[in-house]
Amino acid sequence: MKGLTLILLLGILGCCYGVWDPNKARIVCYFSNWAIYREGIGRYGIEDIPGSKCTHIVYSFVGVSNVTWEILILDQENDVDKMGFANFTALPQQYPGLQTMLAIGGWGEGGKKYSQMAGVPERRRSLIRSIVEYMNRYGFHGFDLDWEYPGATDRGGTFKDKDNFLLLDAIHVMTYDLRGNWAGFADVHSPLYKRPFDQYAYEKLNVICPHVQNETSGWTRKFDDIGKCPYAYRGCTMGRLRGCR
C-alpha cells in the first residue's frame, strides 16, 4: 500500500481505547504524511487509507524541539493548516474501533536530540506534557516513539541510552527496509526467516528473529485473524495485557 506501511507488533499495548478487542491480533499501520507530495498516481492521502485493514494506525512524523523539548511540528501547512491531524483522527468515524496514534522521530530527525532528551528528567517531563497536550487537542488515542536509534553512536546516541530508554506499553518492531539498494544486490526487502544463503549481518536481519523462533524462548508466535501478519508475545496471555513483552 503506497504511503502506508504495515509493521509487526512485538508486545501488547497495556492501555486500550475505544472498542478494539484486546484479545485479537494488532495490525499496526504507519501513514507517512509526506506521501501527499508525490506526483500523479503515487500521491497517497488520508482519504486513501484502508482503515478496515488496520486495528491501529500511526501518523508520522512530528519531531522534538532541542530548545523547549516539546513537540516540534515538521509540516505546519499539511499537519495543522490543512487539518492533517484532524482528518486523521476522524478516521474512526468511518472505521469504528480504529485507534489513531501520533509518531515522533523518524530517520530525518536523527537520534541526537532524543538521546539528549532522555538523559535529562526535566526534558522528559517537558516532552511528556507536550505529548499529552497534543493527544488531547487533536484526539489521538496513543503515541509512538520512533527513536532511530537508542545507543547508535553514528546517529548521535550514547551507550547510556539503554539505561535511559524506558519501555512503554508496547514495542513496534521495524519490519521493512531490512534490505535495500545499499546491499548491492536485488532481494526482497523484509524476509520472514533466515534463508540458507544469508550471510554475515543479514543472517539476523529478518522479521522473525532467531530468538523468537527458539521453541524454549517462551515466545508465543501467531498470525493475525486473516493469516497475513505475524506477531509474537511473551510473559502474558492475550487477555492479560499487563506484563507483556
DSSP of the chain: -TTEEEEEEES--SS--TT--TTSPP-EEEEEGGGGGS-GGG---GGG--GGG-SEEEEEEEEE-TTT-SEE-S-HIIIIIT-HHHHHHTHHHHSTTPEEEEEEE-GGG-SHHHHHHHTSHHHHHHHHHHHHHHHHHHT-SEEEEE-S-TT-GGGT--TTHHHH----S-EEEP-S-SS-GGGSS---SS-SS--TT--GGGGT-SSS-HHHH-TTS--EEEE-TTS--EEEE-SS-TT--TT--
Task: Please report, rounded to a whole number, the percentage of residues in the chain having pLDDT higher than 70.
Answer: 81
Nearest to 17 by CA among 124, 128, 143: 143
Q: Is the residue at 203 inside a domain?
A: no
Q: Is the residue at 195 inside a domain?
A: no
Q: Is the residue at 185 inside a domain?
A: no
- What's the confidence (pLDDT) of residue 6? 41
Select the more confidently predicted residue: 85 or 2.
Answer: 85
CA 202, 208, 214, 216 torsion-angle sign: positive
The predicted-structure confidence for 113-142, as pLDDT tens digits, reads as follows: 999 999 999 999 999 999 999 999 999 999
Q: Which residues contact 113 (CB under 8 A, 6 or more apart)?
A: 63, 64, 66, 156
Residue 57: pLDDT above 90?
yes
Q: Is the residue at 191 inside a domain?
A: no
- What's the confidence (pLDDT) of residue 46? 98
- Which three cell numbers, joined as nine digits, stand for 191? 524476509
Give the residue-averaged pLDDT of 207-214. Answer: 72
Domain containing residue 65: CATH number: 3.20.20.80
The predicted-structure confidence for 176-193, as pLDDT tens digits, reads as follows: 788 888 888 888 888 878
- What's the confidence (pLDDT) of residue 230? 67
Select the more confidently predicted residue: 113 or 231.
Answer: 113
- What's the confidence (pLDDT) of residue 22? 62
Burial of residue 97 (CB within 10 Å: 0-12, 13-18, 19+) is middle
- What's the confidence (pLDDT) of residue 105? 96
Look at the chain and report how many structural domains it folds into: 1
- What's the confidence (pLDDT) of residue 168? 65
Q: Is the residue at 118 inside a domain?
A: yes
Select the more confidently predicted residue: 2 or 147.
Answer: 147
Nearest to 209 by CA among 239, 242, 232: 232
Q: Which residues contact 227 (CB under 8 A, 6 or more apart)?
A: none
Residue 71: pLDDT above 70?
yes
Q: Is the residue at 168 inside a domain?
A: yes
Give the residue-averaged pLDDT of 131-157. Answer: 94
Task: Please report, rounded to a whole number, the percentage of residues in the chain having pLDDT higher than 90.
Answer: 53
Of 11-15, 20-24, 99-103, 165-169, the least confident: 11-15
Nearest to 142 by CA among 99, 181, 91: 99
Q: In whole angstroms, what is the distance from residue 10 CA to residue 172 CA? A: 6
Domain that holds residue 35: 4-174+208-233
Q: Is the residue at 226 inside a domain?
A: yes
- What's the confidence (pLDDT) of residue 238? 47
Q: Is the residue at 167 inside a domain?
A: yes
Distance of alpha carbon 182 from the chain centroid: 23
- What's the confidence (pLDDT) of residue 11? 28
Q: Among all residues, which ones are annotated catalytic?
A: 148
pTM for the full model? 0.77
Q: What is the mean pLDDT of the chain?
A: 83
